[in-house]
Amino acid sequence: MIDATDLRMLARANKRDKERERLSYAHLLAAIWQASDGGMKQVDIVGAVGLTRERVRQVCDDKYRDKHDPARKPAHSPASRAATRPALPRGEASGHRLTEGS
């Protein structure tokens, strides 16, 4: 019979393996993008990595790559622009200036 200690051990191993798989896949994506950028044909990438042609096509698509490739993320995302934008004095954020006595 399995006990709580065994279950905890298996749960930790599962979590660790999921993280390894995530990192491994990120490295695979980076290698696919590097090969594609270097001129390798998608059909040759399919043969080398064992993914389907459709999956390699998706991975190499600019929209997918823009979303998942950290090297292609814009330097100034909306979040980083908001962080660097100077704070407006109270009342100016809505376009209304505070007047004396308001």
Q: What is the pLDDT of residues 14-63, one digit of tens each?
A: 999 999 999 999 999 999 999 999 999 999 999 999 999 999 999 999 99
H helix intervals, the chain: 4-37, 42-49, 53-60, 62-68, 78-84
Q: Render the burial of 39-49: b for 16+ CB within 10 Å, e for the rest.
A: eeeeeebbeee
Residue 34 lies in a domain: yes
Q: What is the DSSP letter of 68?
A: H
- pTM value is 0.63
Structurally, the chain folds into a number of domains equal to: 1
**Residue 93 burial by CB count (10 A; 0-12/13-18/19+): exposed, middle or buried?**
exposed
**Residue 32 burial by CB count (10 A; 0-12/13-18/19+): exposed, middle or buried?**
buried
Q: Which residue range is the domain that position 12 belongs to?
A: 4-84
Residue 94 lies in a domain: no
On whether the CB atoms of residues 45 and 36 are closer than 8 A, the answer is: yes
Residue 46 lies in a domain: yes
Q: What is the pLDDT of residues 62-92, one digit of tens each?
A: 999 999 998 887 655 555 444 444 555 555 4
